[in-house]
Structure 1
Amino acid sequence: MITGKTNIVGLMGDPVEHSMSPPMHNAAFEHLGLDYVYVPFNVKKNALGEAIKGAGALGIKGLNLTIPHKTSALKFLDVIDEAAELIGAVNTLKFDRGTITGYNTDGLGAVKALEEVIPVKNKNVVMVGAGGAARAVAFQLILSGIESLTIINRTPEKALKLKNDIKSQIESNISSGSLEILEKELSGADILIDTTPIGMYPHDTDIPVANASMMHSDLVVNDLVYNPLETVLLKEAEKAGAITVSGLKMLLYQGAEAFKIWTNKKAPVDIMEKTLMELL
């Protein structure tokens, strides 16, 4: 039951109707008996500053931010976490005694998903894509101590730009290139991460970025697309005997990190995952 004591957290984005975060978080709050509620707010780009200020005035405890607000929110914050500052984007806000702090749990979610099956420290990683998700994951991987990172993109200039941007901010063993070098790079890789939308429903029969003949059985393959749960890329990885990690895991763990930031309690990951699976 919502009362005058209920703590409010939520999501700001445009659109937000499709988001699975409200049911995931509300199931977690209910399971732990916490007097919290998670509410989606559709906020247009030009109203973000007013919305964040208003959230603070209303006593809202925390927010998630999604498209198109992750970058533009930075100028409205008092404190920015190290990873979020490097990435240049935030997806989680905490309101505490008049101070608004911004975090980015996307990259952390991706790393935690991988570490269910393999420690990322000292590993050689190949990442396909050079957009916002790739940037968040790349910085978090480097902060987590990987050995090397190769960024591959259909437009190699974009991969090069991301590589140079990362190297200008943090010491790292990082290279870039086009899809033509993917097979060669995979031969010595421990982890492949696809950050592109290739294979996302309803385009779930797209040709994947890599096929089984390009992979090997010691490879861990993570596709950030979570609908469908088993993408064309993950099906190819299974044919090669590789270990697969669904994009649902990143969604789950980025949410679990936000939950901990807001409540100072460990998230009930099993309950959150069960809710997501039911939604899909």
Structure 2
Amino acid sequence: MKKKVKKQKKYGLVGKDISYSFSKKHFTEKFTAYHFDNCEYLNFDISSIKEFPEIFAKNKGLKGLNVTIPYKEEIIPYLDSLSKNAKKIGSVNTIVINKQKKLIGYNTDFYGFKKSLKPLLESHHTKALILGTGGASKGIAFALKKLNIEYDFVSRNPNEFQISYDEIDSALFEDYSIIINTTPVGTFPNIEDCPKFDYSLLSKKHIAFDLVYNPEESMFLKKAKEQGAITKNGYDMLVFQAEKSWKIWNKK
């Protein structure tokens, strides 16, 4: 009897300057370990979101995509629909291409972050400062809301509802015990960079969480650790959100 040939399935990451990508390595290793010989994961490094439709013209058999900086918000007009959570968040990091070739956007960032932060939380961790206001920060804010943690955004160009880096002082850090860097500042190769504020204001009662995972210990985390803060990089969050993406892509 003739062995049934499995249909080739393609997945990939849409982003800019993503040669360092976690996703490609993670999924390629997963496909090898579990003998998913018919699955392939590619990097789609595009310099403008306008190039997004070309990905489909050149790649038949695409089943799912991940989306990273800087396209998590810009991608939305190119999608046919959004999940309930992605709509609320206003940011997409996972796309399903269904049988009708419709593109459906999801957000698994909030799930990955929530699962990664939860074990670190103690009773005094009730308020968070989110450094950055890009697409990644929206998923973080949504997760904090689910954890009943109050939050405010810190921005280099704050609007009336946001805090500027110059306003970070001891009174603010007395109030906010979780500091989350959602900006790409400090990512390889610019490993000497970090968000600009007085790190001596941090203490052992603080959690410093960096979405950056390359390098493993960013300058932000290094400086926070020197002050006794609990530190965590974005690696576990990425693993959790990637596995959630895989489940969504393979929902029957």
TM-score for the superposition, normalised by structure 2: 0.81
* SS, match of residue 62 in structure 2: coil
Aligned-partner Cα distance in 1 for 2:104–2:226: 44
The change in CA–CA distance for 1:22 and 1:205 in structure 2 (over 3 A counts) is closer
2:10/2:39 contact within 8 Å kept: yes
Aligned to 1:38: 41
Structure with a larger share of its residues in helix: 1
Q: Which residue of 2 aligns with 1:48?
A: 52
Deviation at 1:120, TM superposition (A): 9.9
Return closer, same or farther for 1:71/1:38 CA change in 2, 3 Å cut-off: same
Aligned partner of 1:85 among 73, 84, 87: 87
SS in 1 for 2:75: helix
Q: Distance in 2 between matches of 1:189 and 1:146?
A: 14
Contact 2:24–2:43 at 8 Å: present in 1 too? yes
Aligned partners of 1:40 and 1:247: how far apart in 2?
Answer: 20
Identify the match of residue 166 of structure 2 among 175, 180, 194: 180
2:121 aligned with 1:128, yes or no? no
Indicate conservation of the 8 Å contact 1:229/1:246, yes or no.
Answer: yes
The equivalent of 1:147 in structure 2 is: 149
Whole-angstrom CA distance in 2 between matches of 1:28 and 1:237 = 33
Q: CA RMSD in A?
A: 2.9
Alpha carbons 2:91, 2:136 under 8 Å: kept:
no
- 5+ long unaligned stretches in structure 2: none
* One-letter code aligned to 2:76: L
Counterpart of 1:33 in 2: which secondary structure? Answer: coil
More moved, 216-225 vs 114-123: 114-123
Match of 1:112 among 101, 110, 115: 115
Question: 2:104 corresponds to which residue?
Answer: 101
Q: Write the distance in 2 (CA, Å) between the matches of 1:121 and 1:85.
A: 31
- 2:12 paired with 1:10: yes
Which secondary structure state, in structure 2, belongs to the residue aligned with residue 241 of structure 1? coil
Matched, 1:218 2:224: no
Task: Please give the alpha-carbon distance, in whole angstroms, between the structure 2 residues aligned to 1:137 and 1:6.
Answer: 34
Q: CA deviation at 1:85?
A: 1.5
Percentage of pairs with the same residue: 32
Question: How far has the Cα of 1:207 moved from its partner?
Answer: 5.6
Letter in 2 for 1:226: Y
